[in-house]
């Protein structure tokens, strides 16, 4: 076991029985392409599993925490906790970038590629915890590191549908309906990353990024509300 993984176990407060699962969760496809490591797997399958575990854990947390909320409100609250921006923020706080195995080229990327890799690694880590320690431990991890952000989300009203709010404000203030356009698209088919612009007429008000067009549009709308000072 490397010192790095021992440190990470301490940071996340999870002791792995099979340290290979933790290593796999932190191995990006590019590392294997470059190193050609024989029996080592990259983290995409764990990411797939972790996505489902994360959604279930967050859903149960919200169901228990907010008995008065409607299905629509709960769906919006969940989206605010499981989107790539939130996963990136949590991964950044845990300093996962210090432990992820990347190709030399990917390791140099400090922009949107890093955002994407860290968000996916968070899901893979959750999947690894689930396989190694079971649902209870993975649920505890999700509640501690992800659901704990709910207070800030409620305070800043980040759970509200930013696109709907931006449209209402734009029509009220300027008499214009916002439109969204993809201004940049990158990555292979299974790892698409989108940058979307929020426009009022010909004015580019803000850009948002995400792992889907919908997520990028919501991020753009949220930034547009801030840029126009309509989020007060």
- Separation between Cα atoms, residue 194 and residue 115, nearest integer Å: 12
Catalytic status, residue 132: no
Q: Is 69 helix (H, G, I), strand (E, B) or coil?
A: coil
- Separation between Cα atoms, residue 13 and residue 141, nearest integer Å: 8
Are 194 and 213 spatial neighbours (Cβ–Cβ below 8 Å)?
Answer: yes
> What are the tokens at 24?
């796999």
Q: 3-state DSSP helix/strand/coil percent for the chain, to nearest 5? A: 65, 10, 25
CA distances from 19 to 90, 125, 128 (A): 22, 12, 10
- Separation between Cα atoms, residue 223 and residue 205, nearest integer Å: 8
Active-site annotation holder among 24, 47, 106, 123:
123
Are 128 and 138 spatial neighbours (Cβ–Cβ below 8 Å)?
Answer: no
Active-site annotation holder among 47, 51, 106, 132:
51
Catalytic status, residue 51: yes
Q: Is the dihedral of CA 59, 65, 70, 74 positive or negative?
A: negative
Residues known to be catalytic: 51, 123
């Amino acid at each position: 076991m490397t010192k790095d993984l021992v440190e990470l176990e301490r940071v996340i407060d999870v002791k792995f029985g099979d340290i290979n699962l933790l290593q796999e969760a932190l191995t990006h496809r590019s590392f294997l392409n470059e190193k050609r490591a024989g029996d080592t797997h990259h983290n995409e399958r764990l990411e797939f599993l972790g996505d489902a575990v994360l959604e279930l854990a967050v859903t149960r947390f919200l169901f228990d925490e907010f008995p008065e909320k409607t299905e629509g409100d709960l769906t919006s609250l969940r989206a605010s906790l499981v989107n790539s921006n939130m996963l990136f923020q949590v991964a950044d706080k845990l300093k996962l970038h210090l432990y992820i195995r990347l190709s030399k080229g990917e390791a140099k990327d400090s922009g949107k590629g890093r955002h994407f890799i860290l968000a996916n690694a968070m899901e893979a880590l959750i999947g690894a915890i689930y396989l190694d320690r079971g649902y209870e431990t993975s649920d505890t991890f999700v509640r501690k590191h992800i659901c704990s952000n709910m207070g800030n989300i409620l305070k800043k009203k980040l759970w509200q549908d930013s696109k709907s709010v931006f449209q209402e404000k734009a029509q009220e203030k300027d008499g214009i309906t916002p439109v969204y356009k993809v201004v940049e698209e990158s990555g292979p088919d299974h790892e698409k990353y989108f940058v979307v612009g929020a426009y009022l007429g010909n004015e580019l008000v803000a850009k948002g990024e995400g792992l889907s067009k919908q997520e990028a549009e919501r991020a753009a709308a949220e930034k547009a509300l801030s840029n126009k000072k309509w989020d007060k």
